[in-house]
Structure 1
Amino acid sequence: MGALFHDLGLTEKFRTSQQRSELDGADEARAFLTARGIPADRAHLVREGLALHTAQEIPHHMAPEVVLVTVDVELDVLGVGIGHDTLLPETREAVIAAHPCSDFKRRTLHAFHTGPAHRPRAAFGNVKADVLDRFEEGYTRPNFVRIIEESPLAPIASRSPPGARFRRSEMLRAMDFASRRRSCNVVPATPTGKKNRRKAKRS
């Protein structure tokens, strides 16, 4: 059921909505299910899967139903994700024959463009920003670093008591360091780790 509603927010019905299209489809799915007697916790699970299906990595650590919606989208639209390397060619061809969709890539990108074009702010931090950056004339992609640097909170921080200031430059350096550590899979040193390294050097 979640897969049926996952891109509903890109349709004409939601051309005045200002929230993310994922949330439009998620809210509609929950309303549809609860109106038909589906328990609230199950309807919420469907909503959760739809709301998060374009979030990177997060859905893969949640309930199986949430994972399945994301896996479905990744495999169908991107050709990546769980199972893409084990899907037999004959199986893929059978699915395409049963559910043909001509000009799929162009039509998909068109939907991803027209759906959020009237609400560009909702695309920030989302894959839809890539689409608007490519196809929407006059669109300026928000930059996370620039937003922090231009934050109006700077004067407030400068009046903080000594020792309580948190400069944006320090915040950016910390974020950059954390990102580089994750990409290198560096494990933080611990007292135990230091002892182990000393033992390794002695041996």
Structure 2
Amino acid sequence: MFDKSKGTKKVTRRTMLQRGAGVAAASAFAAAVSHPPAAAASRPRADALPTAVAGVRIPDSDVAREAAAFARGASTETLFNHVMRTYLFGCLMFDRNGVRYDRELVFVASVLHDLGLVEAYRTPNERFEVDGADAAQRFLRQQRMSADRVAVVWDAIALHTTAGIAARKRPEIAMIAVGSGMDFSGNDLQKLPSDILDDVLTAFPRKGFKQEAIDTIVSLCRTKPMGELMHPFAEVGRRHIADFSVPTVEDLLLAAPFED
């Protein structure tokens, strides 16, 4: 769900710089020893998904239905509609190029890809993409999905904001980056016919997506600033939060304990 910004104890830039070198190790340790909150109830709601939108079939397997119900139960309507548009946009772009892919795997990765934005699945230091990938992994293991398929979903979610890397991976990974990027910033949206775009937006309307996304990014910057170290979201924090103390890449470089 999208959360309004919450105040936290101020951390100085010097403290951030001192922590910067050790953040990766600290995050890994926290992930290993922490026990994030139990998954939200995944019971299906009465409002079933359509069988297809804009000519794109929506999978109806057991794991697809469970994943959609889980994501819908954990998310606001606005966030759930975004993850559904992510699936549709990714499929539309790859279908038009004749790319073959595992539709169920793409659907599951799409609907689960933003769990890291939900407060229940946030850890103190990890990037939201990693939090989301870990939450999806736990859920899919409960669904007894095979380890190799879970690994693809994990990579797709963890890499979905790093399009240049995701694009070099298998289609099921690249499609999440493409679909979410189209919905977030309009990348390549002009390549879709207007009637197709209308079908997608009618089935899953945006409902104030831009403002809710900004609110969530600011919330992440306030509540887990080290998770935004060297992350694009840090620029939003610098714009909206006075004295935002997360160092820039330049700060980290100049603070390195070398003479030159």
User: So what's the TM-score if we normalise by structure 1?
Assistant: 0.69
Cα–Cα, structure 1 residues 16 and 46, in superposed 2: closer, same or farther, change >3 Å? Answer: closer
1:16 Cα deviation (Å)?
Answer: 4.9
Match of 1:130 in 2: 235
1:116 Cα deviation (Å)?
Answer: 4.0
C-alpha distance in 1 between matches for 2:122 and 2:241:
16
Structure 1 position 151 matched with structure 2 position 256: yes
Name whichever of 43-52 and 85-94 sits farther off.
85-94
Match of 1:61 in 2: 168
Residue 230 of structure 2 aligns to a residue in which SS? coil
C-alpha distance in 1 between matches for 2:211 and 2:127:
21
The 5-angstrom pairing of residues 182-201 of structure 1 reads none
Given residue 175 of structure 2, which amino acid in structure 1 is its aligned partner? Answer: L
Match of 1:33 among 134, 140, 152: 140
Name whichever of 43-52 and 122-131 sits farther off.
122-131
The 5-angstrom pairing of residues 1-203 of structure 1 reads 1-81=108-188, 84-152=189-257, 154=258, 168=260
Given residue 6 of structure 1, which amino acid in structure 2 is its aligned partner? Answer: H
User: So what's the TM-score if we normalise by structure 2?
Assistant: 0.55
Cα–Cα, structure 1 residues 50 and 15, in superposed 2: closer, same or farther, change >3 Å? Answer: closer
Q: Which has the higher contact order (CA 8 A, sep 6+)?
A: 2
Per-residue CA distance 1:24-49 (angstroms, 9 max, x = gap): 11001111112212111110110011
- The gaps in structure 1 that reach 5 residues or longer are 155-166, 169-203
Bigger Rg, structure 1 or 2: 1
Conserved 8 A contact 2:122-2:131: no
- How many residue pairs get aligned? The number is 153
- Give the percent of matched residue pairs that are identical in Structure 1 and Structure 2: 28
- The gaps in structure 2 that reach 5 residues or longer are 1-107
Conserved 8 A contact 1:22-1:50: yes
Cα–Cα, structure 1 residues 28 and 58, in superposed 2: closer, same or farther, change >3 Å? Answer: same
